[in-house]
Amino acid sequence: MPMTVTGKFRSKKKRYTSRLQKGGALLEDMRVLIRNWSDEGTWNSQRDRIIQENILGKKTRSRAIDVYKEAFVPRFLRGDPPEAWKILRSLEDRDMSIDILRPIYYWLTARGEPLLYDFVVDEILTKSNSMDLSVRVDETTVWIASKLSGCRQSWSQSVTIRVARGLLAALRDFGILEGTLRKKIAPVYLPVESFAYLCFVMQNLGRSGERLASHPDWRLFLIDSPAVERLFLNAHQNRLLNYEAAGKIYRIEFYARNLEEMADVIAGKRV
């Protein structure tokens, strides 16, 4: 049965977790889990099979459980939107390039991890327009402590530092930052194929026309309104979608009815 994305965006709860200290992006692990997930069977039965068969290739059972519980579940099962694994499965089934997949994994991870989302739009976006593009662990730790205080939360100093390191490592793995020991903001790159697929998903989740063009989530990619418009025009020229704009009136249409058909469009196949 073709996969569809339904429902609407849920408002993000301002309740931060320390999950990022468990491993940051975990991109390859998430890809393995999404390729092995399905609508057949319960979540628990699929989890048990993945752990027992050691599909993740971890040295210990506890580490595999951590990856499942602390990353896969909150991002791709109970994330925002729910069951987000389906959004990526159609692309994974078509062996899409990691360059196209990475921004979509990043977007869904940011929506499932409010701390990462807020750090990018509150700190990284502002810093990206400054002369100093360096992003430091100590400054990130201070920012986290401030956000926790505003939400009446608190973590120990050691946990806060580990979360800060996990947060920066995740952003490096997603291509928002670059560097190993000394990290800085990387040049902006959002492939037009990723952009078009994200537009399809966002529209099916209730954002269309001007609301899609001005969606706040585009800030996660450190791009402004003119850059979004250029991406729409590029996607239109490449026949990934149909885009027309006159003032604040936008007409955005797709050559697909569901995720599988949109994945075919992205892969260069006409449906």
Q: Report whether 219 contacts 268 (CB < 8 A).
A: no
pLDDT digits (tens, 9 = 90+) for 196-230: 999 999 999 987 788 888 999 999 999 999 999 99
DSSP string of 143-210, one letter each residue: HHHHHHHHTT----HHHHHHHHHHHHHHHHHTTSEE-SSSEEEPPP---HHHHHHHHHHHHHTT--HH
Q: Report whether 164 contacts 123 (CB < 8 A).
A: no
In this prediction, residue 5 has a pLDDT band, given cuts at 50, 70 and 90, of low
Nearest by Cα to 261 from 204, 208, 215: 204
pLDDT digits (tens, 9 = 90+) for 152-193: 999 999 999 999 999 999 999 999 999 988 999 999 899 999
Rounded CA separation 242/236 (Å):
5
- 253: helix, strand or coil: strand
Average pLDDT over residues 118-135: 94
The residue extents of the domains of the chain are 8-187, 192-266
Q: What percent of the chain has pLDDT over 90?
A: 81
Q: Report whether 20 contacts 147 (CB < 8 A).
A: no
**247: which 2 tokens?**
């003032």
In this prediction, residue 104 has a pLDDT band, given cuts at 50, 70 and 90, of very high
Residues 6+ apart with CB under 8 A from 132: none
**135: β partners:** 183
* pLDDT over threshold 50, residue 79: yes
| Average confidence score pLDDT of the chain | 92
- Amino acid 80: pLDDT: 92
Rounded CA separation 155/7 (Å):
34
pLDDT digits (tens, 9 = 90+) for 230-271: 999 999 999 999 999 887 788 999 999 999 999 999 998 755
Rounded CA separation 244/233 (Å):
9
Q: Which residue has the tokens 């001005």?
A: 214
Average pLDDT over residues 123-127: 95
Nearest by Cα to 139 from 114, 160, 159, 156: 160
Distance of alpha carbon 22 from its chain centroid, rounded?
A: 17
Q: Report whether 122 contacts 116 (CB < 8 A).
A: no
Rounded CA separation 29/67 (Å):
8
Nearest by Cα to 79 from 108, 101, 39, 44: 108
Q: Please indicate whether residue 141 or residue 248 has the higher confidence score (pLDDT).
A: 141
**Which architecture does CATH list for 8-187?**
Orthogonal Bundle (1.10)
- The radius of gyration of the chain's CA atoms, rounded to the nearest angstrom, is 19
* pLDDT over threshold 50, residue 1: no
Give all strands (DSSP E) within the chain, no chain letters. Answer: 134-135, 177-178, 183-185, 242-246, 249-253
